[in-house]
Structure 1
Amino acid sequence: MRLFALNGSEELGAAAASALGVKIDPHEERDFEDGEHKTRPLVSVRGKDVYVLLSLAGGGGSSVNDRLCKLLFFLATCRENGAARVTAVVPYLAYARKDRQTKARDPVTTRYVAKLFEAVGTDRIVTLDVHNFAAFQNAFRCESIHLDTRKLFVPIIRTLVGDHPVTVFSPDCGGVKRAQLLKETFEALTGKDIGFGFMEKRRSRGVVSGDIFAGDVTGSDVFIVDDMIGTGGTMLRAALACRERGANAIHAIAAHGVFGKGAKALFDSPAIDRIIVTDSVASAASAKADYPSARLDILPAGSLIGEAVKRLHSHSSISDLLGIEN
C-alpha cells in the first residue's frame, strides 16, 4: 500500500497514517512562475494499492481549483506509472453543493467533478459528510465511499449536556435527514431520548427567507448540525431563532469548518455557546489561530479515515463506518 498526503492536508494525512500504523509516502509538488504545477510520487507505485489524501477547500495561497487539479494530476500520474488501484481520499469534496439546477441553464458541477475523477482513472473516492449523500452516490460511477462523523460528535455532546434536555436541530429543510441520523445515533449510544427540530430556509439570488420553525427548544441544550460552516450565516440565523424560543444553550456542529470570509460575525456572536468541527480542512485550525477567543473545538478525524483505509485495503467490512444499517 502507498499513502500520500498532498500539500494542504499534511496534518490530517499524518493522523490517518498514524492510525494505520504506516508512514506517509514522500512526494514532490512544484509550482512554476507561470502558475502551472507538477506533482509526482517519489517512490514506486507500480502494482501498489494507492491512497491519495487531499481536502478540496481553498486556503493557504491555494484555490479550490488549484487543489483539484493537483489531486487529479497526481491520481493520473499514479495510474500512468502502474498503480494497481488508485483511491482518492477527499474529506472535503469541493463543488458538492452544486448538485442540481436551481436556475435556468445552471451547471450541475458535482457531476462534472465526478467525471474528472473518473477520466484520470480513479477507482474509488472516499469522502467525509458530503453535502448531499444521494447526489454524491448518483454522480460517481466509480466506487464511492461516504464516511459518517456522527460517532465522533456523540461523546462531546454527551459531555457538554450532562443531565440537561437535548435537542438536535437542522438549520434548513435540506439537512433534516442529517440531523435525524445524529439524533438516532445519540439515542442508540446513550439510551437517552432527545428532541428534534428544524427551520425553513430558502435562498434566492443571495437573499435568505423562510419563517417556519418546527420543534420545542425551550430550556433545552440545542445542537444545530450541518455538513459545513462557511460564513456561518445559516448557523447564526438558526441560533438566533432558537434563542428567541427559550433555548438554554446553543452549540453549532459541522464536519467541515471552512470558515470563509464573514465568519467573524459567527465567532463574535453571543448567540452560539460553542462551535464544534472536525479537522477535515486546514482552515479550521487557521480560524482557531486567527480567533483565539472563539469558542471553537476541533475534533480529530484522522483515526476514522485511517480505519477506513485499513479496511478498504484489506477488503474488510466498512459498513459500520458508513452509518448504514446491515
Structure 2
Amino acid sequence: MINTNIITCPNNMKPLQNTLPVAPLKLIALDSCKALGDKVNDYIVSFRKDTINEITDSPLYANYQSNNYLTQCCCPRFGTGEAKGILQESVRGADLFIMVDVCNYSITYTVNGHENHMSPDDHYQDLKRIIAAAGGKAHRINVIMPFLYESRQHKRTKRESLDSAMALKELIDMGVSNIITFDAHDPRVQNAIPLKGFDSFNPPYQFMKALFRAVPDLIVDKEHLMIISPDEGAMQRAVYFSNVLAVNMGMFYKRRDYSTIINGKNPIVAHEFLGDDVSGKDVIVVDDMISSGGSMLDCAKKLKDRGAKRVIICTTFGLFTDGFAEFDEYYEKGYISKLVTTNLTYLPPEIYEKPYFVKTDMSKFLSLIVDSLNHDISIGEVLSPTEKIHALLEKRSRDLK
C-alpha cells in the first residue's frame, strides 16, 4: 500500500495529499524566459526537498526529487534568419512545461548580416519549434505564456484576422494540453478551445503584498483609498479589487476618434471620469498592461487634478514601448507615486533604478501552479486569491495597531 504523501507548500496552501505526479516533471524555459524559469525551478526544487515520504525508493517516485527540472534546448538560426528547435535531452514520458515570454525584445539574431530584434511572432515560432522537437514523445505538454500571444487581437470588429484564437487552436492541434497565462486581455478567447485546458491567473494578492512593503503608510478603507479602472475593459479587475478590499471604485471611459487610425488604433480624444470624490484619497489604478503608458498617465494627471493624494499604478505587464521619459516626468511632477508591475515579461535593466518602480515577483506563485498541475490537483485556491488577501489585510491591521 502507498502511504500518504504530504508536500508542505508555502502561503497556507492545502498540502498535496494522496497524490502522485501524472508524469516526471520537466521544465523548458526558452531564451526569452530564462531568468523566470530559473527562479521557478529553484522554488520547485525547494518545495520537493521538504517532501515527507516513507517510500522514496518506490519506482513511482523516480525522478520526483531532483536538483534541477530544467531541460536544455536551443533554437539556432541560419544566416537567412531561418531556425530550428533542438532538445538536448530526452523528454519521453515527461509532464513538460514550456515557458515563453513573447514580449522579450532584448534578444537579437542576424539576418543576412543585419541585427534583428525578436518580435512576438519570432518567439511564438520558437515555441512551436520546441513543441515539434518533442515529437509527441512527452506524456503531456503544457505551455506557460504569461503574456498571451496576440491577446489584444481577440475579437473581430470588421474585416480582420482573429490572431489570438488562431494561435490557441494551432497550439492545441500540435498536441498542447494546457495553456497557462496571466491576466488575459479577454479570457473569453478560450472559447476557441473549449475542450482543452486554459487558465488565466491574476496577481492582486501579489500586488497588495508588494504595495504594503513599498508604501508602509497605505490605509485600506473607504475614507483613505479608492480603486480606479482606466477604461471600460479593466472594469472587471477593478470591481474585484474594490470588493475584496471593501473600498469604493471609479472609472474612466475613453472617447475615441473612430474616423482615423494611428499606430493601429483609434486615437483617444479625452478621458471622462465616473465615480466618487477622490480628493485627499490614495488611488490605485489597476489594468492588465502598460503599452506606451500614455492613457494611464493621462488618467493619473486627471486624478491628481481632482485632488487625489497619491496615484499608484498596478499593472500585470509593463511593456513600456515608448521608454520611461514620460513616466520620469510625471513622477517628478507628482502625478504618480508608485508603479507596480510583475516580472512575468521582460523588464529593461534601467527600470530597477527608477524611484517609483515596485517589482512584484511572480516566480513563487508560478512554481505553485506548476507543482499543482503536475500532481493533477485542483488549483481553485490559486485561481481565487480572496482568502489570502483577507488574511493579508487582517495581518496588516494587527501590525498597524
The alignment's TM-score, normalised by the length of structure 2, stands at: 0.74
User: What residue is the counterpart of 2:203 in the other structure?
Assistant: 149
2:62 is aligned with 1:10: no
**Structure 1 residue 259: Cα displacement:** 1.2
**Structure 1 residue 324: Cα displacement:** 7.8
In structure 1, what is the Cα distance between the partners aligned to 2:79 and 2:305?
54
User: What residue is the counterpart of 2:83 in the other structure?
Assistant: 37
2:238 is aligned with 1:179: yes
- 2:298 is aligned, of 234, 237, 240, to 237
1:270-295: CA deviation from partner (whole Å, max 9, x where unpaired): 3111111000111x243515xx3352
Greater C-alpha radius of gyration: 2
User: What residue is the counterpart of 2:366 in the other structure?
Assistant: 305
User: What residue is the counterpart of 2:54 in the other structure?
Assistant: none
In structure 1, what is the Cα distance between the partners aligned to 2:73 and 2:199?
25
In structure 2, what is the Cα distance between the partners aligned to 1:33 and 1:294?
42
2:122 is aligned with 1:66: yes
1:146-179: CA deviation from partner (whole Å, max 9, x where unpaired): 1121110112333424337111111001111111
Aligned pair count? Answer: 314
- 2:218 is aligned, of 158, 162, 165, to 162
- 2:191 is aligned, of 131, 138, 160, to 138
1:8-53: CA deviation from partner (whole Å, max 9, x where unpaired): 1101111111121152221122122111112222111111110000
Q: Which runs of 5+ in 2 are unaligned?
A: 1-24, 46-66, 107-116, 388-401
- 2:379 is aligned, of 314, 318, 325, to 318
In structure 2, what is the Cα distance between the partners aligned to 1:297 and 1:241?
22
Alignment of 1:158-307 (within 5 A): 158-159=212-213, 160=215, 161-163=217-219, 165-185=224-244, 187=245, 193-203=246-256, 204=258, 205=261, 206-215=266-275, 216-270=277-331, 271-282=335-346, 284-288=347-351, 292-307=353-368
**Structure 1 residue 106: Cα displacement:** 2.1
**Contact 1:259–1:287 (CA under 8 A) maintained in structure 2:** no
In structure 2, what is the Cα distance between the partners aligned to 1:28 and 1:158?
40
**Structure 1 residue 111: Cα displacement:** 0.9
With 69-78 and 201-210 compared, the bigger mean Cα shift is at 201-210
**Structure 1 residue 224: Cα displacement:** 0.6
**CA shift in 2, pair 1:202/1:50, >3 Å:** farther
CA RMSD of aligned residues (A): 2.0
Q: Which runs of 5+ in 1 are unaligned?
A: 188-192
SS in 2 for 1:212: strand
Alignment of 1:94-109 (within 5 A): 94-102=149-157, 104-109=158-163
1:251-304: CA deviation from partner (whole Å, max 9, x where unpaired): 11111111112543123313111111000111x243515xx3352111111111
Question: What percent identity do the matched residue pairs reach?
Answer: 24
In structure 2, what is the Cα distance between the partners aligned to 1:114 and 1:101?
16
Q: Which amino acid aligns with 1:226?
A: D
**Contact 1:72–1:116 (CA under 8 A) maintained in structure 2:** no
**CA shift in 2, pair 1:234/1:25, >3 Å:** same
2:74 is aligned with 1:28: yes
SS in 2 for 1:269: helix
Q: Which amino acid aligns with 1:214?
A: L
The alignment's TM-score, normalised by the length of structure 1, stands at: 0.90
**CA shift in 2, pair 1:86/1:100, >3 Å:** same
With 155-164 and 46-55 compared, the bigger mean Cα shift is at 155-164
1:159-200: CA deviation from partner (whole Å, max 9, x where unpaired): 424337111111001111111112233x2xxxxx32211110
Q: Which amino acid aligns with 1:98?
A: Q
Q: Which amino acid aligns with 2:351?
A: K
**CA shift in 2, pair 1:302/1:128, >3 Å:** same
SS in 2 for 1:222: strand
Could you list the runs of 4 or more consecutive aligned residues of structure 1 that deviate by over 6 angstroms after TM superposition? none
User: What residue is the counterpart of 1:190 in the other structure?
Assistant: none
SS in 1 for 2:31: coil
In structure 2, what is the Cα distance between the partners aligned to 1:76 and 1:219?
56
- 2:138 is aligned, of 83, 96, 105, to 83
